[in-house]
Structure 1
Amino acid sequence: MFVREAELIREQIARRSAAGSGWPKFIKSWLFSRFSRVAVCATIVIKFSSNRRRNVAKIHLIGNAHLDPVWLWQWQEGFAEIKATFRSALDRMRDFPEFVFTCACAAYYKWVEENEPAMFAEIQARVAEGRWVIVGGWWIQPDCNLPSGESFARHSLYGQRYFVAKFGRIAKVGYNVDSFGHHGMMPQLLKKSGMDYYVFMRPQEHEKQLPANLFWWESADGSRVMTFRIPDAYTVRDTEQLTHHIQKHGEMAEAEGAPYMSFYGVGNHGGGPTVANLLAIRELTEKGCGDIALSSPDAYFAEVAALDPPLPVLRDELQMHAIGCYSTHSESKKYNRKAEHRLLSAEKWSSLAHLLLNLPYPKQQLLAAWENVMFNQFHDIMGGCSIKEAFEDARESYGEALHLGAKALNAAMQKISWNIGTMKPQVAALSKEKDSKLWEQDDLGVPFVVFNPLSWEVEALVQANKMLAGAEDDTGAPLPVQKVRASRIDYDDKWDTLFPARVPAFGYRVFWMYRDKAAAAKPSTGMLRAEPYALENTYIRLEFDESRGSLTRLYDKRPKKEMIAAEAAVPIVIDETDSDTWGHGLVRYRNEIGRFADASIQVIEEGPLRATLRITSRYGASVLRQDFSLRHDSPDIQVKATLDWRERHRMLKLSFPVQASEPQAVWEIPYGYIERKTDGQEVPGQQWVSVSDRLAEGGGIGIVNDAKYGYDVLDNDIRLTIVRSPIYADHYGERDDLVEYMDQGIQEFSYGIIPYAGDWRDSGIPRKANEWNVPPLALWETYHEGPLPQSAEGIRVSANNVIADVLKQAEDGNGWIVRCHEAAGRATKATIGLPLHDREWNADFGICEVKSFFIPEDRSVPVSEVDLLEYGAR
C-alpha cells in the first residue's frame, strides 16, 4: 500500500513538472515530505516484516533532550533552558498520551524543584505514571575520564539518593550520551551504584570498532553491564532525519539480531521532542509502519534481558574522542584535583573529630561543596571546551567548594589539636613574652601538630613557617632541621624551617619546635650534595646539561643502572594549529617544532635534608622554571615548576625517555589502572604513569603529578602534557584577530620522577602519587591539658596494595563509611581497623575492586559491606 502511494505522489510531481505547472511552495514541500515518509515507511514495513519472521524485536524510539547546562553559554542560560525544556516535555505528554520522555542529571531536577516547585510536582506525577523516565543516576553527565574514582562514586551517591528521596526510585540505566570517552572501571562503578545497563555514543564507529552496538562491558574486577552505543546521534530534529534513522536502525537490528534504540528530540541547548516529531511517529505507527514504539532505555533493556541474546563481551576502555580535552584549560583541571582531595581530607578529619570529641559533622556544608565539584565535572567544563565566561563561573564555583572544604578541615583539625595534652609542668599560664609569634616559654619548645590524611604512615619533609633552632618528636628524640627560604620578606624574617616528620596512618603527631635551643640531632644517614650541574644522594645521581637544562643522566645506584635512554625532563613545543579546542579527528600530538633551551642553573638549597637546583629555560616569549629537589632519604625526584606561557596554537610536553628495551606502559585511571600500547596516542590518565621493562630484570620510571591528565607514550618515551593554547570553544571556526587563547600567562604545577627496580606493582607508585597530591597538614599549638595523646593512628590497613580513600559519616547519619580500593592488580586479603573507634574487620579484594564498609555507631552491631549508595551490598 505504502509503495503504491509513494509511486502515485511521484507521478503527480512528474506530470505537473512536465506540464510546466508550478506548485505552491508549501504544497511542493509537503508532497516531497509525504513522498519521503511514505517511501521510507514502505521500506520499514518490508524490513520489519522480515525481522518478525526472524524473531527480531522492535525499534525503541527514545524521546529525549540532551541538555548542556554549560557550553557555548553560561550556567544561568542553561538553568533557564532546562526549565523551558521540562515545560515542553510536560506539554507534549498532555497532547500525546503515548509520548514517553527520558532525562538524566539530578542537578537539573534539583534546580527545577527549588525554582519551580509546581512544575516539579507535575514531573513527579509523570514519573510515578511511568511516562517520564529517569536515567543516568548521576549528578550530571560528567567527563568520564578525568574525575577521580571517588568523584564518580559521589555522582552516584548523591544523584541516586536524590532520585530516591524525590521520586521513590533509582535510575537503572547509566546514561552519558555526550561524554568524550569512558574509562575502563566504569562497569564496576555503575554496577555498585544500582545500574546494570549503560548508554553512550562516543567514541563512535570511526573512532573505535566494536563487535556490535549492543554488548557486555566488563571491568578488570569482573563487573559487567549491558551496554548500548547510540549509532548516529542523541538528537534528531527534523522528520526526514527521524524516518531515515528508523529505517537505518531497523536494518542494524536485523543485522545484529537484537532490538535497537533510536533517539529523537532537539538537544544540546535543550528542546526535546517536537510536535512534528511526534506527529510523524504517530503517522508511521497508525499506518502499521514497522514494529516501532515510543519507549525508554529502561523498557529497551528489559526487553533485551528477557530475550537474552548472545552478546559479545568487551574488556577494554571506550576511547578515544576529543583528545585535546585531557589538557585543555589547565586552571579548571588543577582546581578539580585540588578540590577532590580537599573534600576527602575534610571528611576524614571531620569524622575523626566527631568520633573523638563530638564535633558536629558538617554534612550539608560538605554536600554543597561536592555539588559544586560534580557540576564542574560536566563534560564541556571538565573537558575545557566551553566559552571563556563559563570558566570564570567555574573558578567561582571551585573557590566556594575549596573554601567550604577548608572551613570544615580547619574546624576539625583545630578541635583535635586543642584537645591534645601539651601542657608542661613549668608553665603556669600562657604568655608571649619570649616571642611575638610563638607561645614558647623559656626553652620548653612549642607544639606543632602534623596531620596525615592518608591511610598509611607517611615520612615527609614538613616546612614550619618560622626560623627555628631545633626540633624534637613527641618522644623527645631530636630531629635534624634545615633553613629554607620562605615566601615572605618581613625585614630580616625570610626563612622557614624544614624537618623530617613520620606521621601515623590517618593520624597526627606532635613535634616540639625550639626558637633558640638547638637539638642534638643525629647526623642524617647517607650522603646528599648539590653541584653546579648535578644532584646526588645515597640512592641516585642526576646530571643536567648546562645550556639546555635537560636531565642528561639519572643513575640509580641500587640496581646500578642508567634509568633514562636520552635527555629527560625536556620541555618540547608541539604545533597544534590544525587542532580545534577538542582535538577532533586527531589521535596524537607529536608535531614537534622546538624545545626550551637557553638555560640557567642555580643551586638554591643545600643542606642535610634537601638539595635543590633551579633550572630556568626559555622558548620564544615563554619561560619555564623547574626546581629539582632530592631528599636525603629517598631516590624520588621532586620538581616544582612555574610556567609563563605565551604561545598560541602550541602545546608543551615534558619528555622522559626510559631505559627499557621492551617497554610496558601503565596509567592510573579512576579507581584502577590500565596498560596501553606505546604507540604515541594522546590518552587520559590520573595521578601517575609508569613505563618499565618487561624483561626479567624489570625496573622503570614513574611520573606522578598534581594537576595534569594528558599523556602519551611512544615506545619508551613518556610525555606528560603540561599546557595547550587553543582558542576558546573553537570548533574549527573562522579564526580572526579577535579570538582569545587559553592558558596564557603564569601557572604552577609539580611532578615527581620515581625510579624503581622490579615490577611496577612493587614500586609504591600509587601511594607516592597520593602523597604527592595530599601532603601533611600542620597547625601551631600552645600549652594546654587535653584528653588526646600526642600521637595517634586513625586507621590500619594490612595490605600495601589496598588504599582507604574515604572515611565519612553515612548518609543516613547512624554510622560511618570507609571506602577502599585495590590499586596494584593483585587479589588480596586485608584486615582493616579503626583503632580510635575500636573496630576491626577482614575483607577480600579482587583485582581493582572497590569496597565500601558501613561502621554502625552502635559498636555491638558488626561492620557490613554496602554498595556505593550506602545500601546493602548487591
Structure 2
Amino acid sequence: MHDDRSLVEARLKRVLDERVRPAVYPESVPLDVAVWHAPGEPVPVAEGLAAEPAPIEVGARWGAPWGTSWFRVTGTVPEAWAGKTVEALLDLGFDENMPGFQCEGLVYRPDGTPVKGLNPRNQWVRIGAPVAGGEQVRLHVEAASNPVILDYHPFLPTRLGDKETAGSDPQYTLTRMDLAVFDETVWQLVIDLEVLGELMGELPVDSPRRHEILRAVDRALDAVDLQDVNGTAARARARLTGVLAAPAVPSAHRISAVGHAHIDSAWLWPLRETVRKVARTTSNMTALLEDEPDFVFAMSQAQQWAWIKEHRPEVWAKVKKAVADGRFVPAGGMWVESDTNMPGSEAMARQFVHGKRFFLDEFGIENDEAWLPDTFGFAAGLPQIIKAAGSTRLLTQKISWSQTNRFPHHTFWWEGIDGTRIFTHFPPVDTYNCSMKGGEIAHAARNFKDKGVARHSLAPTGWGDGGGGTTREMVAKAARLRDLEGSARVEWETPAAFFDKAEAEYPEPPVWVGELYLELHRATLTSQAKTKQGNRRSEHLLREAELWAATAAVRTGFPYPYEELDRIWKTVLLHQFHDILPGSSIAWVHREARATYDRIAAELDAITEAAQRALAGEGTTELVFNAAPHPRAGVPAGGAAAPAAPGGTRLTPREDGGHVLDNGLLRIAVDARGLVVSAYDLEADRETVAPGRAANLLQLHPDFPNMWDAWDVDEFYRNTVTDLTDADEVTAGEDGASVRIVRSFGASRVTQVLSLAAGERRLVLDTEVDWHETEKFLKLAFPLDVHAERYASETQFGHFHRPTHTNTSWEAAKFEACNHRFVHVAEPGWGVAIVNDSTYGHDVTRTVRADGDRGTTTTVRVSLLRAPRFPDPETDQGVHRFRHALAPGADIGDAVREGWRINVPERRLTGAGEVAPLVTVDDPAVVVTAVKLADDGSGDVVVRFHEAHGGRARATLTAGFAHAGVTATDLLERPLAEAAAPEHDGERITVRLRPFELVTLRFRRA
C-alpha cells in the first residue's frame, strides 16, 4: 500500500473508468429503433405517438437544428434475465459534459403516460426490478435536436440561434439504444469510491482521516477482481464499510440540500423549448421522488408551473400529487426569476403578485422566500417589494461571480432604500448546479464566511440552466454525506426548513445596505435595445390601460378587462426573465420578443382608447388625457386642453454655423458640430455644461470583453474612445424651436433633433441611430458643471445614491450601472436631471475643471447601443430611436416628474368635457404608480403609491368616487393585520409616509 495519495488516486481513477463503471451494465441487447421527424414545430403528444416511424440504426445522424424527432424503441427482455434489474439505455448522441445544452428527450409509454426525461446525465429508463423475463418493451421518445450554441472557449458567432438561419443539417449521432442488466451492487460501489475519493482529495495531506480513507480505498481495490467486477463488488464494498460509517464531528458544517433545476425560461433556446424542458425535468423529478423517500425538490417560476398545467396535463397530474405529498415544493413566489435591475416599480411588484397568487390558487401554498439564484444583481428597492408581497427571505448565488470584490457575508440582513430588511442567504457552495461532488461540499464548508456564529448553508442540487434536475447519483452521494467524518453534514430539506434553521441560529446577522451589485454582466443593461424599449413601453402602457379602464369602469360602467390585463401582465413579466430583458438570449428569443411587444402595444392602446372614449363622451372639446403622476401645470389628467404657454422659443444662428435656442428659461447653444456647448439656466444665472466641454457628445468605444459577449463590458473599453464630432449637417428645424443634426460614422448614421419647447425647462434630444457596427459601444455624454460626490438614479419605488468617486475597489467596480427614468446630479440648491424613455445603462465620472479653476465637474454618459456577436450575431443591427432630455436646475422632484413625462406622453381626443381624476394626491413627493380594480373582480379600487423624494411626506389623497371604507393591504390586495386604519374624512384620506415608503390602499366600492 502506497502512502502517496496521487498513486492511489491514479489507481482509483483507472479502475473506476475502465473496469467498475462499465460493469454497472454487464449485459445488454440492442433495441429496435424507428424514427419520425416532425415537420416544422413540435406536435402534440398524441400526434407524435400515432405517427408512422421509419427504421433507423445506431450510428445514424439525426436531428435538424430545433427539430423534433419521435423515436420508437421496441424489444424483448431476454428470458435469461429473469430476476434481474433491467433498464433501457437511450443515448441520443449526448455529450456528458453539457447537460441542458444539447439534445434532450421525454420518454412516454404507448398510452401517453410520461416516464422520465433523457439528458446527458440521465440516459436510463427502468424496465423492471426484477423482471420476469420475456417482457415486451415499447417506449416512445420525443427528442429535441436543440443545437449546441454555447462553447465557452471561445464564444463564436453562430447562425444556429434562430430556426430561420440554422439550416437543416443533422446535429447528432444516435449512439446507443439497448436493454441492459443493471447491477446495483456495482453501481453502489461506484458511488462509495467516488465519495471517498473526492473526500480524500479535499483533506489535508497530513490528516489521519485522509490516510484512513486512502488505506480503505486501496484495500477495496485489492478486493476487486478486474476480470470479475460483478462477482467481487460486494467484497470490495465490505472493505469500505468502516470508513463510510465514521460519523462527522459535532462542529461539522451543515448543508441543506435542495433538489433543484434552475431552468432558464429562455436563453440558448426559445420559449417554446422551455415548455418542453420543464416537462422533461419535472417528469424526472417526480420519478426520482417516488424512488427516493428522503429527496425533496423545489422549483420556482410560476410561469413554468403554468406551462406544465397548460401544455402537459399528464405531467401536471404527477406534479400535483408530489406537491400534495410535500416533497415537490413551489419556491420563490415570482412569475419568473426576473432581472431585478431594469423592471419598473409596478412590474417588480407584479412579479410577486402573479407568482404568489398562482401557488396560492393552485396549491394553497405561500412562499416566504424569494428565490433568484442566477439574477444579475439586485436593485436597492427590492427588499421593500419582497416584504410588501408577504415574504421575508431571499436566496441568490450569483453575487459569488463578482470579479473584483468578494462579498463579505453568506447570511445577512439586506436593507433596502426605505429601511426594510430581508433575511438573505448566499449559498457558499458557489453554484446553483451542485452535484454533490466532494470538492463542492468541502468548498461550501471552507468558504462559509459566518463560521463561529452560524453553521447552516444551502446547496441547490441538480443540473440546471437547460434543466435536467437532480440525479440518482446525487441522491446516493448525499446519503453517504449525511453523517461522514471529514465532510460537512448533508440533509435534504425544503427552502423553508433551511431558512427556519438559519434564522434561529443567527438572529442578528450583519447588515448590508443598498444594492447588491454584481461586478459582472454590466452590459446586460444595454444589449438588445429593442427588447428593453419594448419592456419600458409595455410597463407604461399597462399603467395607462389600468388607470383609464378603472376610471371608466367606476364612472361609466365600462367593462374592466380583467382577463386581458392579466394575460398581458404575465406576458410582460415573462419577458423580464433574466436572459430576455438583459439581452443575453439567442436571436430567436429577441425576434419573438419584438413581435410580442408590438402586439401588446396594439392591445393596450386599444384598451386605453376604448376607456378614454367612454369617459370623454360625445362632444367637440379637446381633451388631454395624461397618466403621468404629476403632469405639467395646466394639463390635469383627463382635463381640457390648456392654452398655449405665453411667449415662445427663439432660434437664432451662431457665427460658427450653429444655432441658439432660447425660451426665456433656458438658453441652449448648439455649435456647428451639433454639440451643446452651453445650456444656460437663465433663472439661476448658471451654466450647465462643464467648461471647455460639450454635451450631446456621441462617443464610440471598441467593445470586445474577455468573455460573455452579450453580457459583459470590461473596464478597459474606456482606454480607447472616438468622439463623434463630425457632422454631415446642422440645420434649424422648421418649427423654429429645434435643431436637426446628421452625422455618419463607420457604416452607421445618426439623426438627432434637439428641441426646446416654450415654457419648458428641459432640452429634448430625439436620437435615431441606423446602427451597423460590430463589437462597438455607443455612449451619449453630458459633461455637467456640477461638483458632486454622489448622484441619484431611479430604481423601484424611489432612487438610490451612488458615489461619483472611486475611493475603493467597491466604487471602482461600478463603472456601469442601472437607472430607470432618470439620473440626477446636484450641488446644494441646484441640480441637473437627465431623463430617458428607454435606456438603463450609464456611467458617471468626475473630471478636473478645464478652465483653470479648482474643483471637479461631473460627466453622465448614457449607454445607447452595443454590437456583440454572441449569442446573437446580429445584435441591435438596424434603426433605433431614443428620447432623452436634459433638465438644468432640476431638483429631485423635477427629475421624478420629467422622468414620468418623457415616458407617458399625453393623449388627445375630443369629448363632452373635462374628466375628473379617479384619485388625486396633493403632495408631489407622493407618486401614484397604480390605479386599478382589485384582481378578485369585486370592483374595489386599488391605489398604490410611494414617497419618491427620499423624505417624510404628509399628503392628502382624495378619492373621486363614493366608497364604503378603505384598507391598507399588501401587494396581493389582502388586508395588513398590523396596519392602522387610514385617517380619512369623507373622500379625503391623510397619509404619512417615511422616505420611499410603499403603500397600497383598497377602496371598497359603495
Which residue identity is paired with 1:404?
Answer: E
Shift of 1:273: 0.1
Distance in 2 (alpha carbons) for counterparts of 1:159 and 1:523: 47
Alignment partners' CA distance in 2, 1:384 and 1:413: 35
* Larger mean Cα displacement after TM superposition, 298-307 or 531-540: 531-540
The answer on whether the counterparts of 1:573 and 1:594 sit within 8 Å (CA) in structure 2 is yes
Give 1:189 deviation, angstroms.
0.7
Which residue does 1:362 correspond to in 2?
561
The code of the aligned residue for 2:573 comes to M
Work out whether residues 928 and 944 of structure 2, in 8 Å CA contact, stay in contact via their aligned partners in 1: yes
Hey, what's the Cα distance between the residues in 2 that align with 1:18 and 1:209?
A: 38
Q: How does 1:285-304 map to 2 (within 5 A)?
A: 285=482, 290-304=488-502
User: Is the 2:299–2:331 Cα contact (8 Å) retained in structure 1?
Assistant: yes
Question: What's the CA shift string for 1:799-837, capped at 9, x where partnerless?
Answer: 111101100111122211100011110011111112244
Residue 267 of structure 1 corresponds to 464
Match of 1:842 among 982, 990, 993: 990
**1 CA distance for matches of 2:615 and 2:935?**
23
Please point out which of 316, 320, 323 is paired with 1:124: 320
Structure 2 counterpart of 1:85 = 281
Letter in 2 for 1:604: G
Matches within 5 A, 1:708-857: 708-715=839-846, 716-729=858-871, 740-756=873-889, 760-761=891-892, 763-781=893-911, 789-814=913-938, 815-837=940-962, 839-857=987-1005
Q: State the match for 1:218 in structure 2.
A: 415
Larger deviation, residues 146-155 vs 621-630: 621-630
* Shift of residue 709, structure 1, vs aligned partner: 0.6
Deviations 1:208-263 (A, max 9, x none): 43221111101121111111113344444655xx2222222233457353211122
- Provide the TM-score with structure 1 as the length reference: 0.80
Matched, 1:247 2:442: yes
- Aligned match of 2:625: 451
Contact 1:368 1:401 in 2 (8 A): no
Quickly say closer, same or farther: Cα 1:722–1:227, change in 2 above 3 A: same
Contact kept? 2:9, 2:197, Cα under 8 Å = no
1:65 Cα deviation after fit: 0.2
Match of 2:772 in 1: 646
1:604 aligns with 2:802: no
* Cα 1:291–1:34 shift into 2, 3 Å: closer
| Cα distance change, pair 846–80 in 1 and its aligned pair in 2 (3 A) | same
C-alpha separation between the residues in 1 aligned to 2:360 and 2:792?
A: 38
In 2, Cα distance between the equivalents of 1:792 and 1:854? 20
How many Å separate the matches in 2 of 1:105 and 1:158?
A: 10
| Aligned twin of 1:492 | none
Residues 527-563 of structure 1: CA deviation (Å, up to 9, x unaligned): 63343521112112111221x2111111111121111
Q: Quote the offset at 1:640 in angstroms.
A: 1.3
Q: Spell out the pairing of 1:344-743 with structure 2 (5 A cutoff).
A: 344-418=543-617, 422=619, 446-459=620-633, 502-504=634-636, 506-509=637-640, 524-525=646-647, 528-531=650-653, 533-546=659-672, 548-565=673-690, 566-578=693-705, 580-584=708-712, 586-587=714-715, 589-599=717-727, 600-606=729-735, 611-678=737-804, 679=806, 681-693=815-827, 696=828, 698-715=829-846, 716-729=858-871, 740-743=873-876
Kept in 1: contact 2:339–2:576 (CA 8 A): yes
Contact 2:524 2:712 in 1 (8 A): no
Structure with the bigger RCO (C-alpha within 8 Å, sep 6+) is 1
Does the 8 A contact of 1:173 with 1:197 survive in 2?
Answer: yes
The code of the aligned residue for 1:528 comes to: R
Secondary structure at 1:414 match in 2: helix
| Kept in 2: contact 1:236–1:265 (CA 8 A) | yes
SS of the equivalent of 1:811 reads coil
Whole-Å separation in 1 of the counterparts to 2:772 and 2:13: 62
AA matched with 1:60: S
Asked if residue 184 in structure 1 is aligned to residue 380 in structure 2, the reply is yes
Gap change, CA 1:571 and 1:256, over 3 Å in 2: farther
User: What is the SS of the residue equivalent to 2:419?
Assistant: coil
Q: Kindly, what percent of the aligned residue pairs are identical?
A: 26
Give unpaired runs (5+ residues) of structure 1. Answer: 423-445, 460-501, 512-520, 731-739, 859-874
SS at match of 2:726: strand
Match of 1:60 in 2: 256
Give the alignment's TM-score, normalised by structure 2. Answer: 0.70
> How far is 1:81 from its partner?
0.6
- How far apart, CA to CA, are the structure 2 residues paired with 1:152 and 1:177? 17
Do the aligned partners of 1:49 and 1:290 also contact (CA within 8 Å) in 2?
Answer: no
Equivalent AA in structure 1 for residue 949 of structure 2: A
CA deviations on 1:285-324 (whole Å, 9 max, x unpaired) are 3767653201122111011122234311000211123011
> Distance in 1 between the 2:191 and 2:1004 partners?
65
Per mean C-alpha deviation after superposition, the further-off stretch among 228-237 and 706-715 is: 228-237
1-structure distance, mates of 2:3, 2:713: 42
Matched position secondary structure for 1:653: strand
Which among 270, 277, 280 is matched to residue 477 of structure 2?
280
Distance in 1 separating the partners of 2:391 and 2:741: 50
- Partner residue in 2 for 1:327: 526
Correspondence for 2:219:
none
CA contact (8 A) 1:342 1:406 kept: yes
Q: 1:14 to 1:332 in 2, by over 3 A?
A: closer
Taking the aligned partners of 2:897 and 2:862, their CA distance within structure 1 comes to 19
Partners of 1:342 and 1:17 in 2: CA distance: 60
The one-letter code sitting in structure 2 at the alignment partner of 1:745 is G
Quote the residue 1:337 is aligned against: 536
Contact 1:369 1:402 in 2 (8 A): no
Paired residues of 2:265 and 2:336 also in contact (CA < 8 A): no
Q: Is the 8 A contact 1:323 1:587 kept in 2?
A: no
SS in 2 for 1:382: coil
Partner letter of residue 37 of structure 1?
A: V
Give the 3 Å change call, closer, same or farther, for CA 669–233 of structure 1 in structure 2. Answer: same
Q: After the TM superposition, which of the residue ranges 140-149 and 653-662 deviates more from structure 2?
A: 653-662
Aligned-pair CA distance for 1:16: 11
Question: What is the CA deviation profile of residues 678-698 of structure 1, one whole-angstrom value per residue up to 9, with x for unaligned ones?
Answer: 2570111111101223xx5x4
Tell me the distance in 2 between the aligned counterparts of 1:714 and 1:166.
50
SS in structure 2 at match of 1:558: coil
CA pair 823-46 structure 1, distance change in 2 beyond 3 A:
farther
Say whether residues 1:38 and 2:192 are aligned partners. Answer: no
Distance 1:713 1:452, change over 3 A: same
CA-atom RMSD in angstroms = 3.0
Residue ranges of structure 2 left out of the alignment (5+ in a row): 25-185, 211-244, 807-813, 847-857, 964-986
Deviation of 1:164 (Å): 0.4
Matched AA of 1:658: L
CA distance in 2, matches of 1:741, 1:18: 46
Asked whether 1:315 is paired with 2:529, we answer no
Distance across 2 between alignment mates of 1:317 and 1:621: 39
Q: Which has the larger displacement, 166-175 or 9-18?
A: 9-18
Q: CA deviation at 1:51?
A: 8.4
> Which residue is equivalent to 1:862?
none
Partner Cα separation in structure 2 for residue 49 and residue 661 of structure 1: 65
